[in-house]
């Protein structure tokens, strides 16, 4: 799916829409040049989960954790083509925002205990995933952000059945 994002508010709104369709264990790769809007998209995602605090780029910390309570996660299990938008359940969720830009070697992720973060229940939003290849789990969704003259062009690429369903719902 391709989307044109005309300003920061539109990027935040897309993040909110993605949060409304998020599922347990979701891994999202965020790809794009410096300043493309990856962290803005994450800010919108967290805003969609009613996070009121600051959202900063974890460029120096590598990961910023967010523990969120009473979050509605979409349940894609057992759903076929007849998707229902009310198919959500409340949960406590950990969202991890990774920025791997400064990573020298993917092995550093092992030293920081990456597997503890990616437990199949938390949501991982990963900037610069190419720096962690070979260690990172496969993405459910890849979001490529490209600069155009007066806007950003996003390509949403599904890598799992759940992400395909997410994209189909996002387009409705």
pLDDT digits (tens, 9 = 90+) for 1-46: 999 999 999 999 999 999 999 999 999 999 999 888 899 999 999 9
Structure-block tokens of residue 55: 């959202």
For residue 91, is pLDDT > 90? no
Boundaries of domain holding 111: 12-78+85-150+160-170
Residue 111 lies in a domain: yes
Residue 7 lies in a domain: no
Residue 21 lies in a domain: yes
Residue 155 lies in a domain: no
Taking the C-alpha atoms of residue 55 and residue 155, their distance in angstroms, rounded to an integer, is 23
Structure-block tokens of residue 114: 């990456």
Residue 119 lies in a domain: yes
Residue 130 lies in a domain: yes
Give 141's pLDDT tier (boundaries 50, 70, 90). Answer: very high
Give the CATH number of the domain where residue 100 resides: 3.40.50.300
- Note whether 141 and 28 are within 8 A (CB): yes
- Note whether 159 and 26 are within 8 A (CB): no
Q: What pLDDT score does 105 carry?
A: 93
For residue 119, is pLDDT > 90? no
Residue 6 lies in a domain: no
Q: What pLDDT score does 106 carry?
A: 93
Number of independent structural domains in the chain: 1
pTM: 0.90
For residue 78, is pLDDT > 80? no
For residue 62, is pLDDT > 80? yes
Contacts 24+ apart (CB under 8 A), 48-54: 48/15, 48/16, 48/17, 48/18, 48/19, 48/20, 49/19, 49/22, 49/93, 49/95
For the CA atoms of the chain, what is the radius of gyration?
A: 15
- Note whether 40 and 8 are within 8 A (CB): yes
How many residues are given for the chain? Answer: 172
Residue 5 lies in a domain: no
């Amino acid at each position: 799916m391709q989307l044109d994002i005309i300003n920061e508010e539109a990027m935040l709104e897309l993040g909110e829409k993605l949060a409304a369709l998020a599922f347990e264990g979701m891994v999202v790769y965020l790809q794009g040049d410096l300043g493309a809007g990856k962290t803005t998209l994450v800010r919108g995602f967290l805003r969609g989960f009613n996070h009121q605090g600051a959202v900063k780029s974890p460029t120096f910390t590598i990961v910023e954790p967010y523990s969120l309570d009473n979050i509605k996660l979409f349940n894609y299990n057992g759903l076929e083509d007849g998707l229902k938008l009310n198919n959500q359940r409340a949960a406590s969720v950990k969202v991890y925002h990774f920025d791997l830009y400064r990573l020298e070697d993917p092995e550093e992720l092992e030293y920081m205990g990456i597997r503890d973060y990616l437990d199949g229940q938390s949501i991982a939003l990963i900037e610069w995933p190419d720096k962690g290849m070979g260690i990172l789990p496969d993405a459910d969704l890849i979001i490529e952000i490209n600069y155009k003259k007066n806007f950003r062009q996003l390509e949403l690429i599904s890598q799992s059945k759940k992400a395909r369903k997410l994209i189909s719902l996002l387009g409705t």
